[in-house]
Structure 1
Amino acid sequence: MTLELAVRLAEILLGFAVFQQSLEFMRGLTVEKTLGFIRACLAILLMLGLQPLWVECVLLVTAIILIRRFQGPYNGGSDTMTVLVLVCLCLSHLSPSRYWQEIALGYLAVQLILSYFQSGWVKVVNPQWRNGSALQQVFALSAYPISERVRLWAQRPRVLWVMSWAIIVFELLFPLALLNQTILIVALCIAALFHLANACLFGLNRFFWIWPAAYPVMIWFQARIAEVF
């Protein structure tokens, strides 16, 4: 995958993610509705590829306004990832040379890798994750609006123990996907399915759309690493 194609695909996916986020804000107070409408329009322009640099700059400004208004990211990790992708794409357009453009996009790829690896590390050092009780509590006591049928999974400790370790091992080994592009694509598909499962089971739909926005850059980054080494 070329750098230009990776950027274009990332912008399309980012635009879709921002559009979805904007619909949520349009159900809030007047200020949030206004910002949500502006961001939704900008997201459409971004998906169409119209003036991506200026669109991303304005989206960054609106993101900062929302962070200030809510005294931090409105939706935690998904909003943080949105800002990260926006900043790196902006820098790639502003870069004075190909070298600095690759640095900006490489930084995004490294942060994506770390987002999975660090998540796995936090889990593996936590005894509740190692024995499966953390995931059991997620299903049994989650504040998210999940069905009673889903909550019944909390009564299957052995299954949840296997699921816990499957998640931990996958996240810790994710950096090794850089060794081969086929392995990377498989790993990204698994990661996307993981985000999709969280969206379906717990309503964490924001995570499903914003993380894959960085996947095209990740695929380009692996190919670039393979060229160098």
Structure 2
Amino acid sequence: MSLESAARLTELLLALALIQQGLEHLRGTRSERVLFGARTVLCLALIADLAQPWPLVALCGLSLAILWRFQGPYNGGSDRMGLLALFCLTLSQLAPTPAWREVIFGYLGLQLVLSYAISGWVKLINPDWRSGRALADVFAFSAYPVSEDLRGWAGRPRTLLVMSWAVILFELAFPLTLLSQEALIAGLVIAAVFHLANAALFGLNRFFWTWLAVYPAILWLQDRLM
């Protein structure tokens, strides 16, 4: 995969992810509708490949306004990854040389790898995750589950222990997928299914679309390094 095609695919997927997020604000305040309506228009211009790189530049400026409006990335990790992808794409477009374009876009791919590895390490050093209790608390007390039947999983300690360690080991081992293209594709499929499950079970839909948008960057990086 070439740098140009990987960056373009990332732009398209990110634009779709941002539009999907904006739909959540259709019933918000007037200022929210204006901000996210403008972002949707810019995303459509990005999808149509109009006047590049100015839609990306404008989206960066608008993202700063949204950060000010909500006093930070109100949806946590998914917003941070989306902002990282947006600013890396913009800086890569504006970079003065092809080498700098590769460095900036490669940094985005590296951050994706670290997002899994660091998440795994944080879970590993947390005794509640090692025992399965953290996952039990998610099912028992979280406001996210869309079905009360899901809360019954909190009473399956052995199952949750296995699930906890499966998540920990996969996230810690994710950097090893860079050793081959086949391993990376398999790892990304597993990760996507994991995010999709979280979206279906807990309503964490933003993570699925935002992380999926960055997958072309890691695919390009692995091909570039190998």
Q: TM-score, normalised on structure 2?
A: 0.98
Structure 2 letter corresponding to 1:195:
H
**1:211 aligns to what SS in structure 2?**
helix
Residues matched between the structures, number: 226
Contact 1:24/1:36 (<8 A) preserved? no
Q: Which runs of 4 or more aligned residues in structure 1 lie more than 3 Å from their structure 2 counterparts after TM superposition?
A: none
User: Hey, what does 2:2 align to over in structure 1?
Assistant: 2
- Is 1:50 aligned with 2:37? no
User: Hey, what does 1:185 align to over in structure 2?
Assistant: 185
- Is 1:111 aligned with 2:93? no
Structure 2 letter corresponding to 1:212:
L
Cα deviation digits, residues 85-124 of structure 1 (max 9, x gap) = 0011001111111100000011101111111111000000
Within-5 A mapping of 1:55-204: 55-204=55-204
For residue 25 of structure 1, report the CA deviation from its aligned partner: 2.2
In structure 1, C-alpha distance between the alignment counterparts of 2:145 and 2:39, rounded to whole Å:
27
**2:74 aligns to what SS in structure 1?**
coil
Structure 2 letter corresponding to 1:117:
A
In structure 2, C-alpha distance between the alignment counterparts of 1:5 and 1:20, rounded to whole Å:
23
RMSD (Å) for aligned C-alpha atoms: 0.9
In structure 2, C-alpha distance between the alignment counterparts of 1:189 and 1:56, rounded to whole Å:
28
For residue 145 of structure 1, report the CA deviation from its aligned partner: 4.6
Structure 1 letter corresponding to 2:122:
V
In structure 2, C-alpha distance between the alignment counterparts of 1:22 and 1:77, rounded to whole Å:
17
Structure 2 letter corresponding to 1:6:
A
**2:53 aligns to what SS in structure 1?**
helix
In structure 2, C-alpha distance between the alignment counterparts of 1:139 and 1:145, rounded to whole Å:
7
Structure 2 unaligned spans of 5+: none
In structure 2, C-alpha distance between the alignment counterparts of 1:180 and 1:145, rounded to whole Å:
36
Structure 2 letter corresponding to 1:112:
L
Q: TM-score, normalised on structure 1?
A: 0.96
User: Hey, what does 1:22 align to over in structure 2?
Assistant: 22
Structure 2 letter corresponding to 1:123:
K
Contact 2:145/2:151 (<8 A) preserved? no
In structure 1, C-alpha distance between the alignment counterparts of 2:27 and 2:59, rounded to whole Å:
19
Q: Percent identity?
A: 55
In structure 2, C-alpha distance between the alignment counterparts of 1:51 and 1:212, rounded to whole Å:
25
Contact 1:66/1:74 (<8 A) preserved? no
Contact 2:139/2:145 (<8 A) preserved? no
Contact 1:139/1:152 (<8 A) preserved? yes
